[in-house]
Every structure is written in structure tokens, then in C-alpha cells.
Amino acid sequence: MTAASVLSVESVTKVFSGAGKPDLVALEDVSFSVGDGEFVAIVGASGSGKSTLLRIIDGLLPATSGAVRVGGEAVTHPGFDRAMVFQQDCLLPWKTVLDNVAYGLVIGGAKIADAHETARRFVQMAGLTGFEHHYPHQLSGGMRQRVNVARALAVNPRILLLDEPFAALDAQTREIMQGELLNIWSESRTTVVLITHQIEEAVFLSDRVVVFSARPGSVREEIPVPLPRPRTMEMKRSEVFVSLVDRVWRLIEHEVRKAVEEGMA
């Protein structure tokens, strides 16, 4: 682990073994680290173990061997220093936007008034002012996912873990959400690990793209993204952007095609 790294993934291997089934090696010797405030994206073919790795980082799943450290401490179980956002929002349908965002703080022992005050700040950051008292079913998919990100950030995690957060959204909403996520992130500057299978999304959002090989997943290459911030939609047409996307695509094209043929994608 380098001095400034918040997260280090050290030779993580994950083998799933079930009764009567052959062992499945999902991850093999995965190592990389993420610096404080850095935004890292992980891309790889379907089934390359990306979600498994994120669950290991979150502490929901143990590694078979190797270790994950956050701030130098080995991860053994979920904790408030990590917050996860999944593809499907996990908002409580009977709670308002404000109460959903405040929920993690309340569980963590904060007083309701304090939790609401903090939650209001994150609701505003997520561009949802005016919707505090709406219920999830009254919001669009994009808005719900913004509440979800606000909810995750409100507990002030050291690391925000995002597993295909926009996969369920239509293409246009997804583009808008990428900008919204960067807006929220630029205010909080939390360290982020984002999984996506969309290469353009990975390059547009991140400081570095970690490219996974097909199963068993391992780090094939780490590609820095030298685009300045704030990122703008116009950058997606720049030569640097297009050539980075092309470079990542070349690294995984063969495996993505194979996964599609095998019916995994």
C-alpha cells in the first residue's frame, strides 16, 4: 500500500465451492490500490468477478485468500467506512426522500434532527431540493438512483462502491446521471470504486480504469485517464477520450464477444 492509498486490494483470490459442484475460481490474484479521493472504474466482461470483488471490498463476502485493506485495516465485515450502491436502488418505499437519505445516519446513532440536517445537505447536492417529502414511487428512476447515491454519501464513507449504478436506466438518463454523479462527487471528493461494463462511462467518470480479464478475473491493465476536471460532455468527442475508449475496448473485446456467445451477457 502506498502512503496515500485508502484502499488496497492485495492478491485477492475467490473460489466458490458448493456441494456436488466443481469449484469456480471467480477472482485470481487481484491486486490494485486506490488513492485518497481517487475515482477508479473497473471494467471487464460479464462474469469476470467484478461484483464479487466489490462485495469482498464491502465485507459482505470473504476472500478465499489475499486481503483488502481500508486505511491500512483489514476488512472483515461491512462497516460505515464503506457505502455501496447497487443497480437496483434499495430505498425504503415507506420513507420519504429525506428519511431515506437520513436512514444510515439514524441507524448509526445520530439524533433525528441532526440526521435530517445532514440529509438535507446531500439532498441538495443531489439536485433534489423540493423533493424531500416525496416517496420513492413518486420519483423517476434517475431521481431514485440520485437519492440512493445521496443516501450512501450521507454517512460520510471513506469509500463509495458503485456496482453498475446506472445499468437499469435508459441511455439518455444514464448520460445525465453521469454528469450528476460527477457534480455530487466534486463536492464530496469521496474515494470511489465504480463497476461498469460501459467503457465510455468508465473513461468519462474516472481517474483510472482497471481492466479485468475474463473469468477468473484478474487485473489485465490499469489505464490512467489524463482528461482534466471538471469533465464535460464535449470531452467525449475529444481525440484523447476516443482513443482511450478504443484502447480499453481492444483489451476486452474478445472476451466480451465470448461472454455474449456463451449467453452470459
Interface residues with ligand ADP (CB under 6 A) are: 16, 24, 26, 44, 46-52, 215
Query: Smallest distance, Å, CB 50 to Mg ion?
Result: 5
Amino acid at 24: L
- Please say which residue, 51 or 206, places its beta carbon nearer to Mg ion: 51
Helix, coil or strand: residue 218: coil
Strands 5-16 and 39-43: unpaired
- 96 touches, from Mg ion, ligand ADP, none (C-beta below 5 to 8 Å by class): none
How far apart are the C-alpha atoms of 94 and 104, rounded to whole Å? 15
How far apart are the C-alpha atoms of 135 and 248, rounded to whole Å? 40
Name the residue number minimizing CB distance to Mg ion: 51
- Please say which residue, 51 or 218, places its beta carbon nearer to Mg ion: 51
Span 29-68, contacts to Mg ion by CB under 5 A: 51
- 49 touches, from ligand ADP, Mg ion, none (C-beta below 5 to 8 Å by class): ligand ADP
| Sequence-ordered strand ranges (E) for 166-257 | 191-195, 208-212, 219-224
Q: Is 198 in the site for Mg ion (CB under 5 A)?
A: no
- 52 touches, from Mg ion, ligand ADP, none (C-beta below 5 to 8 Å by class): ligand ADP
Interface ranges with Mg ion (CB under 5 A) = 51
